[in-house]
Amino acid sequence: MPKRDRGESRTTRRRRITLAIAVAMLSVIAASGAYAAVSSVAGKQAPSGAQVAATPAGPGRLARAYGVNPTLARVVSTLHNGDIVTVANGPSARCLIRESAGEISNEACAPLSELASVRTIAVTDECGTASSQEMEITGLAPDGATTVRLIDNDGSSRTAPIEGGTFKFDGTNPPPGQPYPTTVEWLADGQPSGIALLPVRDGQFCLPTS
């Protein structure tokens, strides 16, 4: 009987050791995965859509996927529709976060090395029958830019100042057949310093509801 007890005890010990090794291996694998996720931001790369989608849901999901704390955002400006434009900085990325009625309604983030990319620009169309057909274009600006120019497809343009590293244009949705914005151009001390195409083209500003 004592031998049998000792035998069961050895088996139990082996199982415990095996379990401990498995847990340790899983911990290493999990830590590696976590490091890989963090290193994509630390390495100044934008997280993939899969990484964004895997980030826990809730306010500021995109910002959190970039390693930016959305609760530390500071208010930069207010849009005509009442939305508040805020900016949050992280170690290697920056986010523009719009808030509507106290809720985050839009986010645009980029690594600090890609502040002049299309992913920093958000265009919102208020197309409902009860809305005032307003269109808001907001975005981050590269460091050094002092002014931004919004250029329409017919070559006409308007400018706006850079405020807190962001820009905004309040307007209305372009009616079919009328000029529509296509590009933003950043200016540093009056000189062009870069451009980005808007993430929307002719015929895409107000989408159908059928």
Partner 1 sequence: MISGLLAAFPSGALAFAEFYGGGSLCGSNCYFQSANAHTFILNEGFSETGHPALACQLLNSNGVNEVGHGGGTCFVGYSGGQYVWARVYNQSGSGYKVTGYAET
Binding region for partner 1 (CB under 8 A): 46, 48-50, 52-53, 57-58, 61-62, 98, 100-101, 103-108, 117-119, 121-131, 198-201, 204-207, 209
Query: Among all chains, which residue has been given the structure tokens 């910002």?
Result: 63
CB of 57 to partner 1, least distance (A): 6
What is the smallest separation between the CB atom of 106 and partner 1, expressed in angstroms?
4
Of 49 and 190, which CB lies nearer to partner 1 in the complex structure? 49
Q: Which two tokens stand for residue 106?
A: 């839009």
For partner 1, the closer of residues 127 and 188 by Cβ is 127
CB nearer to partner 1: pick between 1 and 130: 130
Q: Which element (helix H / strand E) includes 34?
A: helix 2-42
Instruction: Please work out, in degrees rounded to the nearest 5, the angle formed at the alpha carbon of residue 207 by the alpha carbons of 157 and 84.
Output: 60
CB 204 to partner 1: min, Å: 5
Output the CA–CA distances (angstroms, integers) from residue 195 to 32, 73, 131, 141, in the order listed. 38, 26, 31, 10
Distance separating alpha carbons of residues 193 and 138, to the nearest angstrom = 18
Q: Kindly tell me which of 191 and 209 has the beta carbon lying closer to partner 1.
A: 209
CA dihedral 198, 204, 207, 208 (to 10 degrees): 180
Closest approach of Cβ 6 to partner 1, in Å?
A: 46
* Beta carbon of residue 23, minimum distance to partner 1 (angstroms, whole number): 26
Place of tokens 């849009």: 79
Beta pairing partners, 77: 85
Residue closer to partner 1 (CB basis): 26 or 53: 53
Minimum CB distance to partner 1 smaller for 9 or for 178: 178
Q: What is the dihedral of CA 22, 24, 28, 29, to 10 degrees?
A: 20
For residues 179 and 57, give the distance between their C-alpha atoms in angstroms, rounded to a whole number: 38
**Shortest Cβ distance from residue 127 to partner 1 (Å)?**
4
